Amino acid sequence: MLPHWLLCYSGLFSKIFKMDKISKHITYKEATKSYTATKFNIDNTPDSKTIKRMKKVANKIFEPLRTFYKVPIAVVSFYRSPKLNDKIGGSDSSQHVTGEAIDIDADVYGSITNKQIFDFILHSTKFDQLISEFPDDKGEPEWVHVSYDYNEDNRHEILVAYKENGYTKYRYYENI
């Protein structure tokens, strides 16, 4: 049993730093979870500056999406520490490392499609980069990557990820 003072302190810490939620529908645990980090004992704890960025992405992109569709939407990747990003082979300039990017997947719950997520973000939010990740022949992405620049210097770059000769490549999205 933990001492009473420690229980009080941990509850106070959570209230002061609001580490339980990144936004209304994204928990801190959900935003930082990584099977790779767990498997390789990699610390995936964001600092306070990164948490501020994560909250902005969540509130500018994810929450409007979640509110519009009124269904659960899975966060499959949000924050990645530099060490974790390196381990999974992420880009050196990945906005996941700064807390400014989120990967979301409607297929987990099945109430809406990833194409609906992509289209909503494209037409209803401001964003830095939006990527349709490995879409099928009908344009349905495997998941959706979206980023939001904390300083609001958003490029509005729209890409499609695809595989060529075993490598991931990107092309500009043309179907606006």
Q: Is the pLDDT of residue 4 over 90?
A: no
Token digits of residue 106: 């409607």
pLDDT tens, residue by residue, 83-133: 999 999 999 999 999 999 999 999 899 899 999 999 999 999 999 999 999
Mean pLDDT of all residues belonging to the chain: 91
pLDDT tens, residue by residue, 132-143: 999 999 999 999
Report how far apart, in Å, the C-alpha atoms of 23 and of each of 19, 93, 167 are: 10, 25, 34
Residue at 4 is within a domain: no
pLDDT tens, residue by residue, 43-61: 999 999 999 999 999 999 9
Domain tally, the chain: 1
Q: What is the CATH number of the domain that holds 147?
A: 3.30.1380.10
Residue at 59 is within a domain: yes
Beta partners for 104? 75, 144
Domain extent at residue 75: 21-172
